[in-house]
């Protein structure tokens, strides 16, 4: 049996890459790896790794059983087993969904050698980080003589395959590993898209009632799904094209369009929506104030896209708004707000900087930064936790005297580019109204 190894087993993977492999046919199974926790493994073990995918749109819900996993490894429990899985000759392709922060990159997009996990992994043969596992696992694979394979980053980073490859090369050099990466693996760029909320107790009960079988961790998602893969793969892959994946010469137009329109407006709604008292995306997009802000941010983002990404852009925008308004998905704004200091740096800041270089103002981008700063400071003032890789620095920023100093410190977290400080006064002027109607 051929193995599709996946690093970062969360809801999105189970709604997206695992779903594509299940639909691809052939002699394929998914071996999952959780890099942090055992909860998914623990939930699915007793049900033979099967789970329910609830696909929802305005027409109703389709309950699709997914039975493609053959197991889930938990890296902290047995990092050696993860390295062996990467190196094993029957592993033919690796996919990755660990969110942007899981790549342990600095604001310049290069491996953060000061990161605590990278420091640990450089000193230990048993890694903790994604990059450490890939570098050491691929080195072990190359030494065993196993065939080269494809590693697909499926996270929301522009040039995600290139960034991951460069980080693995950097790590291998620093760790003095015997690894010629281009002979061991290829790292195509990819773009993925499928809105996937967190699982709730209500969904668990709903899926059990629909199927009459207990499912400890079902997943809900929308009917829409997209996967665009740079056509430079190596080795065997599942027939993902059968399930709708597209192989193209250049992924960049697709990824920029998604990052700057969908992901950028999602992050805007996550903060402005909560500021205005909303809980879910479909509630936020129905708010005229937020709908206006979303349209304006899309306008600014489109102005920075290459021509190839603008083909059919009006239809793409209309489809996004329709997906946001889907009342069947309970997509919580608080879920989208996680790790926003990283997300804004790749979704909104590049639009702001590119337009500024052309002498253009970007009030919608400024408004997105203001909404993040305002809601983040409000969360801290209320005693709520801020889930972000820069949470310590965010707390420090909130302790500064005066709102201007607080905003200065927050903007410093988004980019190494000093240009952001030039926008401090504009961010303060764009502060959302105190009225949360």
Model confidence over 160-176: pLDDT tens digits? Answer: 999 999 999 999 999 99
Name the nearest CA neighbour of 374 among 264, 302, 268, 249: 268
Burial of 244 (0-12, 13-18, 19+ CB in 10 A): exposed
pLDDT at residue number 371: 98
Return d(Cα 84, Cα 230) in angstroms, integer. 27
Structure tokens at 341: 């200091």
Task: Name the segment(s) of the chain with CATH classification 1.10.1040.10.
Answer: 252-429
* Tokens coding 120: 């640990």
- pLDDT tens-digit map of 117-136: 999 999 999 999 999 999 99
In the β-sheet with 185-186, what is the strand arrangement from edge to edge? 69-74, 28-34, 2-7, 91-96, 149-153, 185-186
d(CA 220, CA 24) in angstroms, rounded, equals: 20
Whether residue 315 is predicted with pLDDT greater than 90 in this model: the reply is: yes
**Distances, alpha carbon 64 to alpha carbons 51, 55, 169, 401, in Å:** 9, 7, 40, 54
Domain 2-248 has CATH 3.40.50.720: yes
The pTM of the whole model exceeds 0.85: yes
Phi, psi angle pair for 187, to nearest 5°? -125, 75
Overall average pLDDT of the 6-19 stretch: 98
Local confidence band at 302 (pLDDT 50, 70, 90 cut-offs): very high
At 417 the pLDDT is 59
Residue found by looking up tokens 């979704």 in the block: 347
Q: Do residues 271 and 376 make contact, with C-beta atoms less than 8 angstroms apart?
A: yes
From-to residues of CATH 3.40.50.720 in the chain: 2-248
- Reply yes or no on whether the pLDDT at 418 is more than 80: no
Q: Is 256 exposed, middle or buried (0-12, 13-18, 19+ CB in 10 A)?
A: buried
State pLDDT tens for residues 211-250.
877 899 999 999 999 999 999 999 999 999 999 999 999 9
Lowest-confidence region among 46-50, 107-111, 348-352, 393-397? 107-111
Q: pLDDT tens digits, residue range 186-217?
A: 999 999 999 999 999 999 999 999 887 789 99
Burial class of residue 54 in the structure, from the number of CB atoms within 10 Å of its CB (0-12 exposed, 13-18 middle, 19+ buried) = buried
- In the CATH hierarchy, which fold is given to the domain comprising 252-429? 1.10.1040
d(C-alpha 103, C-alpha 135), whole Å: 13
Rounded Cα distance between 401 and 381, Å, is: 14
Element (H or E) spanning 399, and its range? none
315-332 mean pLDDT: 95
Q: What is the mean pLDDT of the chain?
A: 95
Alpha carbon 398 to its chain's center:
26
- Please report the pLDDT score of residue 435 as a whole number: 53
Q: Is 397's pLDDT higher than 90? A: yes
The CA distance from 136 to 365, in Å, is 40
Angle between helices 363-381 and 340-347 in degrees, nearest 10: 180
List the structure tokens of 413. Answer: 């977290």
Question: Is the per-residue pLDDT at 436 higher than 60?
Answer: no
CB 137 within 8 A of CB 82: yes
Averaged over 37-48, what is the pLDDT?
96
The yes-or-no verdict on residue 261 having pLDDT over 90 is: yes
Residue 424 near residue 407 (C-beta atoms within 8 A): yes
- DSSP code of 225? -
Note the helical H segments in 52-180: 79-87, 116-123, 130-144, 160-174
Half-sphere exposure of 37 (CA within 13 A, CB side): 7
Return the residue matching tokens 């420091």: 119
User: Tens digits of per-residue pLDDT, 352-374?
Assistant: 999 999 999 999 999 999 999 99
Provide the 3-class DSSP secondary structure of residue 178.
coil
Radius of gyration of the chain (CA): 22
pLDDT of 415: 77
Q: Reply yes or no on whether the pLDDT at 72 is more than 80.
A: yes
| Residue-level pLDDT at 434 | 66
C-alpha span between 146 and 397 (Å, rounded): 49
pLDDT at 103 over 90: yes
The predicted structure's pLDDT at residue 108: 86
């Amino acid at each position: 049996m051929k193995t599709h190894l996946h690093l970062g087993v969360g809801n999105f993977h189970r709604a997206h890459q695992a779903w594509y492999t299940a639909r691809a046919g052939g002699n394929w199974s998914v071996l999952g790896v959780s890099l942090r926790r055992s909860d998914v493994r623990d939930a699915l073990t007793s049900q033979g790794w099967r789970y329910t995918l609830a696909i929802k749109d305005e027409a109703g819900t389709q309950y699709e059983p997914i039975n493609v996993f053959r197991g889930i490894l938990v890296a902290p429990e047995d990092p050696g087993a993860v390295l062996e899985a990467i190196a094993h000759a029957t592993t033919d392709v690796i996919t990755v969904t660990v969110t942007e922060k899981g790549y342990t990159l600095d604001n310049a997009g290069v491996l953060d050698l000061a990161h605590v996990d990278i420091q640990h992994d450089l000193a230990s043969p048993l890694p903790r980080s994604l990059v450490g596992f890939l570098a050491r696992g691929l080195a072990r694979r190359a030494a065993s003589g196993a065939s080269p394979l494809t590693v697909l980053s499926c996270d929301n980073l522009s040039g995600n395959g290139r960034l991951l490859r460069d980080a693995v090369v950097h790590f291998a050099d620093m760790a003095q590993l015997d690894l010629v990466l281009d002979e061991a693996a290829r790292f195509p760029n990819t773009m993925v898209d499928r809105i996937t909320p967190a699982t709730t107790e209500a969904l668990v009960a709903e899926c059990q009632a629909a199927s009459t079988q207990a499912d400890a961790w079902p997943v809900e998602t929308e009917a829409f799904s997209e996967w665009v893969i740079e056509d430079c793969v190596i080795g065997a892959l599942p027939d993902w094209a059968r399930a709708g994946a597209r192989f193209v010469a250049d992924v960049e137009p697709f990824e920029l369009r998604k990052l700057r329109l969908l992901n950028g407006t999602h992050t805007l709604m996550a903060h402005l929506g909560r500021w205005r008292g909303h809980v879910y995306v479909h509630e936020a997009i129905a708010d005229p104030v937020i709908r206006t802000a979303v349209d304006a941010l899309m306008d600014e983002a489109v102005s920075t896209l290459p021509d190839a990404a603008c083909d059919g852009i009006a239809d793409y925008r209309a489809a996004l708004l329709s997906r946001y308004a889907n009342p069947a998905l309970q997509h919580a704004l608080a879920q989208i707000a996680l790790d926003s200091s990283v997300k804004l740096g790749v979704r909104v800041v590049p639009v702001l900087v590119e337009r500024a270089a052309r002498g253009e103002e970007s009030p919608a981008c400024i408004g997105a930064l203001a909404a993040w700063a305002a809601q983040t400071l409000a969360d801290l003032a209320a005693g709520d936790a801020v889930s972000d890789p820069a949470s310590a620095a965010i707390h420090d920023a909130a302790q500064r005297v005066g709102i201007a100093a607080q905003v200065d410190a927050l903007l410093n977290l988004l980019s190494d580019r000093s240009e952001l400080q030039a926008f401090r006064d504009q961010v303060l002027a764009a502060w959302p109204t105190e009225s949360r109607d």
